[in-house]
Amino acid sequence: MTYSTSTIGLLAFLAISTCGSAGPLRRSHPTVVLGDSNNVRFEGTSANNVESFMNIRFAEDTSGNNRFAAPKPFSYPSGSVVNASLPGAACPQQKVPIPGLEVFDNVTRISEDCLTLRVDRPARKSNQDKLPVMAFIYGGGDSIGQIYDTAYDPTSLINGAGQNGYPVIYVAMNYRVGIFGFAATQALNESRSLNAGLRDQRLALEWVQEHIAAFGGDPDNVTIFGESDGATGVGLQITAYGGKEKAPFRRAIMQSGSASADQGTATNKTIIRTTEFIKKVNCSSSVGIDELACLRKIPLKKLLPAALEYEFSFEGSMSFDIFVPTAPSDFIPDSPSKLLSSGRFAHDIDVITGWTEDDQSFFTPSSIKTESDVIEYLSSSIPDLSKENMQRALALYPPSSFSDMPSENISAQYFRASQMSRDYEFTCPSIHLVQMNKKYSKSCTSNYLYILNQTMFTPLYKQQQTSYLGVSHFSDIPYVFNQAKTRYSFLATPLDVEISSKMSASWASFAVSGDPSHRNGTLPGWSDALTHSSPSVRIIGGPNGGEMFTIDGSGDTSEHLAKRCAFWSSPDVLAQIGV
């Protein structure tokens, strides 16, 4: 994904404002948790009614011979006293997550010894409580991200859930990104190390199964959730190993992403790019050397800049998804869409999945003015899309369905292209996933769909004359983490505060019971998506907030999702997208 350059100034301003409003997180009064094996003690901190345990290692250092390899489980020596009071290092990535687009914290520490996790729980809980667990996977285009970013501070999420009477424990894990997490070669495939970043996530979830009871969590009631490529990670944990291994979780929430959201996963995209990079750093096997051994000998201080230079060469410093997961492999044995369509995934998982109204606005060039521009954009985004399918796509999204925004010099063709890419990347894969989950589940699972039509960023968009961004990607994170009164208090309206409280509560309610409307304080009246002949979607926020619509047109006359998703989810189109 590539950000539209017109958003840079806006979000740089947003970064300054939000980071300033958050303030330093004060932590004091360390607490101790007895490890559930070998008498290991974790000394954490307590603040704002939340106890936090950070920098807990779940895997070995990934430097040296472990670079690019599947993660190796780590165990603390018996009797260890672990200082879990400070954040750990981020995995190798750029220190300024997206130069000029600083919606995340700058990365101050980078190390290949980065596979750590954090556990946050309500204060004064013990290992006897067995609380539901919410395990978060961050997004970032498979290029950036860390669990210690203040954008993902779980304090208000935990406190809100507790105040509503359903306390939860929060877990988040670091995983490798970029070429360090998604390098693809034949040797890595043969050694079962392909998709190392996804394996990092899996190992952390297995750690949760083994150890979370010591923190008062219930290993039998784990919900994994994520946004953007974190949601894609959640989806690929559902399809992991073709469903042949027991999933280390019970429920899943995918926000703006799903198993088949990463274009090119089922192609040679990452293999080709890894080969190009290997040649760039003079480690090609064509000169008679062991490629991986050569790459592993290069010091990180030289390898990381070379990797970032290669990534930036594609689309500048705002590039995402240069290295994406690769199929087939043992972890992803077929294209994700085929795994879902054939029932080769973890069954009996309760699911929430959804998208924002303008999920692709950041990633669609605002310079698009004509149908030729739309065709050029789609051709670059989906290189293998046939001419016939290109014409079918254009016909499904007639220009008459969209309007210009003259005040900001934005063409209807921009909105046309943005909605096309939103649908094939986020909307239609989400609908397809819940349909397959319902079809193949052996028990009565819950499936919920939503569209977010509210954002806290509206005042800034108006100020910066970028209102066309609408309810953009990432708009959900402030609501889910219940940050309307904290990090985003300078932006939030009373309606934002209400939605923040209720959306966060619904996520926690779902983690507790599988029902996002089960408790007081949640989003009310959210029914299962598949109780009718056509999937139904709950609208969160906006003028129609609280309503449900069905994708066959009932309450949804403008988007025609049934027809459009039938096209984008057809086998030939999915093959051309590479998912």
Give the span between the Cα atoms of 551 and 530, in whole angstroms: 11
In 3D, which of 481, 483, 489, 457 has the Cα closest to residue 470? 457
Tokens found for residue 148: 């210690």
Give the span between the Cα atoms of 89 and 83, in whole angstroms: 14
The neighbour count for residue 402, using CB atoms within 10 Å, is 18
Cis peptide before 328 (omega within 30 of 0): yes
Position 292, amino acid: L
Q: Which residue has the tokens 């051309």?
A: 576
Q: Is-contact 148 54, C-beta < 8 A?
A: yes
Beta bridge partners of 451: 355, 539
Give the span between the Cα atoms of 575 and 579, in whole angstroms: 6
Residues composing the chain: 579
* Contacts of residue 192, Cβ cutoff 8 Å, sequence gap at least 6: 70, 329, 330, 331
Relative to beta strand 45-47, strand 548-550 is unpaired
Q: Which of 4, 52, 143, 228 is catalytic?
A: 228
Q: 226-235 b/e with 16+ CB inside 10 Å = b? A: bbbbbbbbbb
Q: Where in 323-373 does DSSP place strands (E)?
A: 350-356
- Is 228 assigned a catalytic role? yes
**Sign of the alpha-carbon torsion through 95, 98, 99, 102:** negative
Task: Give burial (CB, 10 Å; 0-12/13-18/19+) of 219.
Answer: middle
Catalytic residue annotation: 228
